[in-house]
Structure formats: structure tokens, C-alpha cells
Amino acid sequence: MKKVFLFSVIIGLSFSCAKKVSQENKTETKPEKVMVGGDVDSHGCKASAGYTWSIVKNKCIRIFEGTKLSHTEENGKTYTTAAYVVFEGNKAELFLDTQKESIILERKSEGDSWVNGDLQLIPWKGYVLKKAGKIIYTGQ
């Protein structure tokens, strides 16, 4: 009887120690601390403050302070998306919500449209942005 009791105590202790050893082997992962306002991109622009890098201005800007273009109605549907344009000389930098990178449009002379491939920004009653000849955005 003593042997059975001693054997059961040894078995019980070995299982209790096994749990402690397995718990000690687990490494605790602490959640990474994120500093508010610490979201600086490669150019030093803080997205949390509304800043984005502008190629034509060569500095951090807030695109919503540029010219806003609203999405036009299409087949009776109204969209709430917007595009923004920043001008510098004969270049216009276009920020579309569907693109990660901005698009640079260029014009040949004063009064001409800014063009890049099938995109055309026309200065008419404000601005009209066309893609492949179809109006996609308008704005003041």
C-alpha cells in the first residue's frame, strides 16, 4: 500500500512539474506599443496629421487643401469619392482614392490641358478630369 501511495505521489508531482516547465518555456509576447503621431513615412510626412508627400511641391502637404474634384454621377448613381489636384508650374499632381501613388499630369503651355496617358485635366468651368474621353471628376 505504501508503494502504491508513494508511486501515486511521484506521478502526481511529475505532472505538476511538467505544467510549470511547459509554462516557463512559453515566451510572453507583449503587444507592440504604437506612439500616437509616430506614423512618419519615408519622406517625414505624418499621415495622422493629414500630410502626404507631394512630388511637384517637393514637400509634405495636406492634399485636402488643394483643388477638390468630385466624382460625377454615372448611370444615375451618385458617388461620394473625391480626387485632389495640386498645381505647380505646368505640372498638376493628381491624388485619386483608387491609386496609392499620385499621378503627374503635364501641360505644354498656359491654357492647355494637363495630360498623362489617357487622363486629361481640362480647365473648364473649374476643372474636368477625363479618362479615355469620359468625364470622371469635376470641381472648382
58-74 mean pLDDT: 86
Mean pLDDT of 129-138: 91
Task: Tell me the pLDDT band of 102, cut-offs 50, 70 and 90.
Answer: very high
Asked whether residue 31 is assigned to any structural domain, the reply reads no
Please say whether the beta carbons of 106 and 91 come within 8 A. yes
The reply to whether 62 falls in a domain is: yes
Provide the mean pLDDT of the chain. Answer: 81
Q: Is residue 39 part of a domain?
A: no
In a domain, 66, yes or no: yes
Residue 53, domain member (yes or no): yes
Residue 13 domain-assigned (yes or no): no
pTM greater than 0.75 (yes/no): no
Residue 37 lies in a domain: no
Per-residue confidence (pLDDT) for residue 36, from 0 to 100: 59
Give the pLDDT band (50/70/90) at residue 1: low
Number of domains in the chain: 1
User: Within a domain: residue 91?
Assistant: yes
Note down the domain range covering 65.
47-139
- Higher pLDDT among residues 2 and 137, named by residue: 137
